[in-house]
Amino acid sequence: MTDLPFGFSPPGDDDDRRDSGDKSGDGRKDGGSGSGPGGQDPFGFGFGSAQGFDPSAFDPTGFDPSKLDPSGFNPAALGQMFSQLGSLFSGMGSGLSGSGASGPVNYQLASNLARQQIGKFTPVSAGESKATEDAIRLAEVWLDDATVFPSGITKSVAWTPVQWLEETMPTWQRLCDPVATSLSKTWEGNLPAEAAQFAGPMMGMLTQMSGMAFGTQLGQGLGQLAKEVLGGTDIGLPLAPDGVAVLLPEAIATLTGGLEQPAQEVMVFLAAREAAAVRLFAHVPWLRQRLLSTVEEYARGISIDFSGIEQLTTDLDPTELLANPSKLEELISSSASFEPKTTPEQQAALTRLETLLALIEGWVEQVVSSALGDRIPGTGALTETMRRRRASGGPAEQTFATLIGLELRPRKVREASALWRQLVDASDITVRDGVWAHPDLIPDSTDLDHPAAFVDRVIGGGTSAFDDPIAELERTMAQEREQQERGKDGRDDT
């Protein structure tokens, strides 16, 4: 990262880097400081080392220390200092005002940093667009025999990394906003009374800086993800608009260069994965909302251990803060003490989200293997390649860790794939795909560890009861009323 705070660049620097293709600075692959993806501050709340804060730049002109009350501190003088400090930090936001610069996450900053990290990219050619459409069309024909879900694709497109970033940002906002908003409210609403009185003049600045910090981490994560992702559903989430199947030719070419498989076979294989995932999300209407609502459920339970704040406010001498502004840098850099605690309810939500993502990936893997296994000789090797991408802690895991501290464990993906395979072996694709009819039928983490018991339960009990749960409840109530009426009739006869 540069010496400027929170990943900011001087005016015009983004365009210069993009034109020159320079990937140093914020665009380097390692993501800069430890606050990037996969770091120790997964929530975007900490400010790391607050690089770039220069106490010498703080102008104390107009502040008269002699006005301080020796018995305590002068709130008016404190407010004056924070006002001057706010003017100092306002320059950091130069050029970042706009609709994306307000709110719990500074999405304009995230977008700018991601674009800078992407650097130069190759525009999609007409030939690549045509190859993408042809590959998806062929994959769709082969998938018809591997799943009962019909095609859900309305449009097939080839995107550049920047197009992927722009088109998927609305979904990232839905994922990030609940976590960042809950974190911000918890921070403001649970400060001890003494700390709240002390921090009052600077809460607005801290809120803005929190949004900048979260936006910085998100931008770093998305910048790397945009260069490595292969399609619109590559990480298990439906990031693209409904019904749109997406492939990224530049990333696919990079992947193919390290494989021994023909480029055309790799393209069709990845097209089949994308098309299968689009089918699943198109014909399981509750699935997309369940993913997002699980993230929101996690966010609602956020709590912060304020012992670190209490310790800081106990030891902090306000007069020293006024005389030595570098103490504010120390206060900000100590924000790691304020990281949220994971409650049992949150851990349960994370487990459900992890399991659901593993089930999606495992289902796609099985459907694609069934559709392409006899047609593309390298299907098995390509499937293993995708598994290794998961096992190596790829961009998906890093981005989830940046957002909500979640890592999609490869072991769960492998077990989910085995569960779907065993269910088909014991029945057929109709029974397997029927499990998606209702969220109550979906396997949980225990079922992934014991797939045989789940298969026996599904085959023994069937899935028809979940096609219309309200109707099933009404039938049960009707049976109970009938039994009660029979009992009354029997007593009347006697």
Percent of the chain with pLDDT over 70: 56
* Tens-place pLDDT, residues 21-76: 444 444 343 434 333 333 444 333 333 333 333 444 444 444 444 444 444 445 55
Q: Which domain holds residue 332?
A: 5-57+102-290+300-342
Say which residues have a Cβ less than 8 Å from residue 47's Cβ, sequence separation at least 6.
6, 35, 209, 213, 332, 333, 335
Nearest to 27 by CA among 105, 19, 251, 90: 19
DSSP of 26-52: GGSTT-SSTTSTTSS-TTS---TT-TT
Whole-model pTM? 0.69
Domain contains 29: yes
Query: Considering the domain boundaries, does residue 117 fall inside one?
Result: yes
364: which 2 tokens? Answer: 């796609």
Amino acid at 329: E
Whether residue 108 lies inside any domain: the answer is: yes
pLDDT value at position 190? 59
For the CA atoms of 90, 91, 92, 96, what is the dihedral angle to 10 degrees? 80
How many structural domains does the chain have? 1
- Report whether pLDDT(451) > 70: yes
Confidence of residue 211 (pLDDT cuts 50, 70, 90): confident
Q: Which residue has the higher pLDDT, 486 or 98?
A: 486
Confirm whether 217 is domain-assigned.
yes
Angle of helix 344-372 relative to helix 410-426, nearest 10 degrees, comes to 50
Tell me if 235 is assigned to some domain: yes
Residues forming beta bridges with residue 247, ordered by sequence position = 158, 231
Q: Assess whether pLDDT exceeds 70 at residue 344.
A: yes
Start-to-end C-alpha separation, the chain? 90
User: In whole numbers, what is the pLDDT of the chain averaged over residues?
Assistant: 74
- Looking at the domain assignment, is residue 31 inside a domain? yes
Establish if 116 belongs to a structural domain. yes
